Amino acid sequence: MKKFNLAILGATGAVGQEMLKVLGERNFPINELKLLASKRSAGNLIEFKGKKYAVEEATETSFENIHVVLCAAENDISQRLSPAAVKAGAVVIDNSSAFRLHDDVPLVVPEVNGEDVKNHKGIIANPNCSTTIALTAINELNRYSKIKRMIVTTFQAVSGAGVNGIKELDQQIKDISEGKDVEINTFQHQIAYNVIPQIGSFNEMGYSQEEMKLQNEGRKILHNPDLKVNCTCVRVPVYRSHSESITIETEKEITVEKAKELLSKAEGVKLIEDLENNKYPMPLDSSNQDLVYLGRIRKDISCDNSLVLWCCGDQIRKGAATNAVQIAEVLVKENLI
């Protein structure tokens, strides 16, 4: 099998480290590996498949002879360095939001619209983690009957805010148990024993940046510019794996029985539906793996042609790292590198 020179931009962060882990698990055909990060991380050693690699400072000249770049960097870094990587001849799979809504950049969830990878002009965008989880969950239903409208509430783990989110929850729990004052740095309010109905800044209509992503990105991924989405995003004191309550309205009726039949065979999902034994998707169970767990499928009693479901997915893996590696695998399979 042909092997490729691959770079991870933002290799020392949580998503970059997960990308490295997933590449190893899935045996991606790597010839040479380059790990790129900030100047302060340069020189750090990271092990991959028994070999130690020195982290290099990421600059515009870092991408010579690189075939694929997995970008786990912030927007401003991606905006500055991704074009340089493309100019050097690499294909960039970008996990930031910098290019997601650009008309000439495919936005891809491989199970949903993997064929869009063929339209790339050097950059392929990874969707927002909540978008990826939601669309993987409902994709087979949308194929059976086009979804017109979605009402979604996300319950997002603190790791979605990075390592600092995990540290803040840990520290706050410790401080509360010791009767100390809680320190707030990463989130808008105390997250320990609390939920915060804000992720990102609010627009003039009162919707947060995170809440608008599902509609804007969903329309592009599903090739449905008329899709209507009402979303509420909530940060919850869970370490890992996002949960979502999703209501869909479809053009024609999908019975509960048909929905279960479709979803039991759907790519990228695991149906967990055993209410008599209190079995349904939960963050604890869906963490550290790549499937989107879904269940609690029921008819929406407030609207015709409408279903409700509950899903959970690991936002660091399927919501970010694994989805990016899957896109790279499509590039290899289709000889697009």
Catalytic site residues? 129, 242
C-alpha–C-alpha distance, residues 5 and 53, integer Å: 14
Distance CA 295, CA 130 (A): 17
**Phi-psi domain of 127 (left: phi exceeds 0; alpha: psi -120 through 50; beta: other):** beta
**CA 38 – CA 17 distance, rounded (Å):** 14
Burial 250-271 (b: 16+ CB within 10 A, else e): beeebeeeebeebbeebebbbb
Q: Is 210 helix (H, G, I), strand (E, B) or coil?
A: helix
DSSP one-letter code for 241: -
Q: Which two tokens stand for residue 80?
A: 């500055």
Q: What is the DSSP string of 16-27?
A: HHHHHHHHHHTT
Residues 6+ apart with CB under 8 A from 25: none
| Cα end-to-end span (Å), the chain | 14
The burial class, CB within 10 Å (0-12 / 13-18 / 19+), for 282 is: middle
Tell me if residue 167 falls in helix, strand or coil. helix
What is each CA distance from 6 to 1, 32, 89, 242, in whole angstroms?
A: 15, 6, 12, 29
And the tokens for 161? 């805010």
What whole-number distance in Å separates Cα of residue 119 and Cα of residue 223? 14
For residue 132, the one-letter residue type is: T
